[in-house]
């Protein structure tokens, strides 16, 4: 679904404020860059490499080169091409016109955004540039500059960026609502419009448009990456969907993936948002998720060694923290204060109707589980797992999960050592844990379950038929109390899942 079209007057006001805004250059780098631009013995490649340590000047050079009439139909995609077109003399003049600021006095919001952009550039270089060697410059500079509209906003209105961070990441308010209040419009359309005014590379504009407006293929790819965990199964699904396969493998997607990983890691390495982008990147590269995560962590460490600044946060620091840690822990309101969002309610109803369709619309059990997991999450639950019982009911294996740390998302529970699990597997049953009764049940809860979902507010429900339990559903709200509305929605969803399981099995004899 497309974002609401911004008010043209509001958009125009922002563009006028940001389009010509000069971004500061660290004074400590000014003289070194000035000498390099005046040295005719240095190659353009050498100068471009030097300028990647001064992203604000590099952006100014690219923007200036792409203003020229000759660049209208063929804008420069890399800094080396921009330098060639602009000439070193004009580049030197541009440097002299930009404000010089001691590094210690650089605007803090800009400094933090530059750390994120340089981290993204490191991720792009390590994950994609070697595989797509002929396009390495487009990948390199595109990954650095895709967030550049935010650099300008961070200089012009750092207060708005900080308020966005506080209200979205800390208070957990809806992004659309916060942006409308702070900016008078959504942020992504503003970034895309500014990128178009600056005539930034097409890959950047495509990426911003994809995030802000064209969600269908992105959503399909994210669904596939979540539904299939092995490269072989993923490739089989892609072979059956040529349109998605063609879209997914576009080189332009590399800069979006790299920046999405860097932005998600800035908040948490283990939350659902980060896992979505890791899965999608693993799908793009056709490698196992575990291999992708190892590469991403190693590249983050390299980025920190190269660009770490004690004044700013680098997500590599959090690699030493517990896996589910977040830089900003969301402070959620009490359940009574949480109002159901119409969009979530409608989507939840649609998914429940899909589960209840007869005959079963699902081609395989994994498709059913995908729909079931999404429906549970839309009830207001942040973490959950759907575990299937084996034939002997001795093992419960998570086949779908959401919100869990990667180390436990494939949760496996041995029922033989747990009286509670054996009781839940005798016949369909429901258990709601609260601080009031937790002491009674804590001793019989499997340790792995308590490790995967550390919480005193937990819902467990076994599903199947009177003759045989097939599945255990577990969900919580990141340790927050579960209100009556969420509990009722959970129960209704589980009833739909149970009916769907029975129909699915019945269709197959």
For residue 386, is pLDDT > 90? yes
Alpha-carbon gap, residue 179 to 186, rounded angstroms: 5
Residue 95 and residue 116 in one domain:
no
pLDDT in tens, 486-506: 899 999 999 999 999 988 887
Residue 79 lies in domain: 25-104
pLDDT at 156 over 70: yes
- 236 in the same domain as 179: yes
Beta partners for residue 101, in sequence order: 26
Residue 15 domain-assigned (yes or no): no
Question: DSSP per residue over 368-405, as a string?
Answer: HHHHHHHHHHHTT-SEEEEEEE-TTS-EEEEEEEES--
Q: Which DSSP letter does residue 87 get?
A: -
Q: What is the CATH number of the domain that holds 346?
A: 3.30.450.40
SS3 assignment, position 229 = coil
Of 392, 429, 432, 430, give the one whose Cα is nearest residue 414: 392
**42 plus 75 within the same structural domain:** yes
Q: Looking at the 3D structure of the chain, how many domains does it have?
A: 3
Do 115 and 243 fall into the same domain? yes
| Residues 63, 168 share a domain | no
pLDDT of residue 111: 94
Together in a domain, 239 and 186: yes
pLDDT in tens, 29-53: 999 999 999 888 899 999 999 999 9
As a whole number, mean pLDDT of residues 380-391 equals 92
The contacts found for 37-46 with CB under 8 angstroms, 24 or more apart, are 37/88, 37/91, 37/92, 37/95, 38/88, 38/92, 40/88, 44/80, 44/83, 44/84, 45/80
Model confidence band, residue 326 (pLDDT cutoffs 50, 70, 90) = low
Domain boundary among 56, 89, 104: 104
SS3 129: helix
Q: Is residue 20 part of a domain?
A: no
Assigned domain for 492 exists: yes
pLDDT in tens, 353-367: 999 988 888 888 888
Give the number of C-alpha atoms closer than 13 A to the C-alpha of residue 131, restricted to the C-beta side.
15
- Judge whether 258 lies within some domain: yes
**Sequence-separated (6 or more) residues with CB below 8 Å from residue 22:** 60, 97, 98, 99
Tell whether 275 and 347 lie within a shared domain. no
- Predicted TM-score (pTM) of the model is 0.65
Question: Which position has the higher pLDDT, 281 or 165?
Answer: 281
Q: Quick one: pLDDT band at residue 439, thresholds 50, 70, 90? A: confident
Q: Where do we find the tokens 């969900």?
A: 475
Contacts 24+ apart (CB under 8 A), 434-439: 434/481
Residue 332 inside a domain? The answer is no
Name the CA radius of gyration of the chain, rounded.
26
Does residue 7 fall inside a structural domain?
A: no
């Amino acid at each position: 679904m497309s974002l609401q079209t911004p008010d043209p007057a509001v958009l125009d006001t922002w563009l006028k404020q940001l389009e010509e805004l000069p971004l500061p250059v660290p004074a400590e780098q000014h003289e070194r860059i000035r000498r390099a631009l005046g040295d005719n013995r240095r190659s353009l490649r050498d100068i471009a490499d030097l300028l990647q340590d001064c992203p604000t000047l590099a952006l100014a050079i690219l923007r200036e080169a792409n203003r020229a009439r000759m660049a209208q139909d063929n804008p420069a995609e890399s800094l080396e091409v921009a330098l060639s077109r602009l000439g070193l003399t004009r580049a030197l003049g541009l440097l002299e016109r930009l404000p010089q600021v001691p590094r210690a006095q650089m605007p803090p919001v800009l400094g933090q955004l530059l750390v994120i952009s340089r981290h993204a550039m490191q991720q792009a270089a390590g994950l994609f540039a070697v595989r797509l060697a002929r396009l390495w410059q487009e990948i390199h500079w595109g990954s650095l500059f895709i967030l550049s509209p935010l650099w300008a906003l961070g200089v012009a209105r750092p207060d708005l960026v900080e308020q966005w961070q506080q209200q979205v990441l800390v208070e957990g308010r809806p992004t659309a609502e916060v942006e409308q209040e702070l900016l008078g419009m959504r942020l992504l359309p503003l970034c895309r419009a500014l990128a178009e005014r600056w005539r930034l590379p097409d890959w950047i504009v495509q990426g911003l448009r994809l995030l802000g407006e064209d969600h269908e293929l992105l959503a399909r790819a994210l669904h596939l990456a979540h539904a299939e965990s092995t490269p072989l199964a993923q490739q089989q699904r892609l072979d059956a969907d040529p349109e998605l396969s063609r879209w997914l493998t576009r080189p332009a997607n590399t800069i979006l993936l790299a920046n999405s990983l860097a932005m998600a890691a800035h908040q948490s390495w283990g939350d659902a948002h980060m896992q979505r982008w890791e899965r999608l990147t693993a799908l793009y590269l056709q490698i196992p998720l575990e291999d992708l995560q190892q590469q991403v962590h190693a590249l983050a460490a390299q980025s920190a060694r190269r660009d770490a600044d004690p004044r700013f946060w680098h997500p590599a620091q959090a690699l030493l923290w517990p896996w589910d840690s977040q830089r900003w822990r969301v402070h959620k309101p009490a359940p009574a204060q949480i109002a159901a969002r119409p969009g979530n309610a409608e989507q939840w109803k649609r998914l429940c109707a899909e589960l209840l369709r007869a005959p079963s619309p699902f081609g395989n059990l994994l498709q059913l589980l995908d729909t079931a997991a999404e429906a549970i999450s839309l009830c207001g639950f942040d973490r959950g797992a759907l575990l299937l019982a084996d034939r002997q009911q001795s093992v419960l294996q998570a086949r779908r999960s959401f919100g869990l740390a990667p180390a436990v998302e494939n949760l496996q529970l041995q029922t033989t050592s747990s009286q509670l699990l054996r009781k839940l597997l005798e016949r369909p049953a429901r258990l709601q844990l609260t601080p009031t009764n937790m002491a009674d049940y804590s001793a019989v809860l499997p340790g792995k379950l308590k490790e995967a979902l550390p919480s005193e507010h937990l819902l467990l429900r076994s599903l199947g038929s009177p003759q045989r339990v097939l599945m255990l559903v577990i969900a919580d709200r990141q340790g927050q109390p579960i209100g009556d509305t969420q509990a009722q929605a959970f129960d209704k969803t589980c009833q739909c899942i149970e009916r769907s399981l029975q129909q699915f099995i019945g269709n197959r004899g």
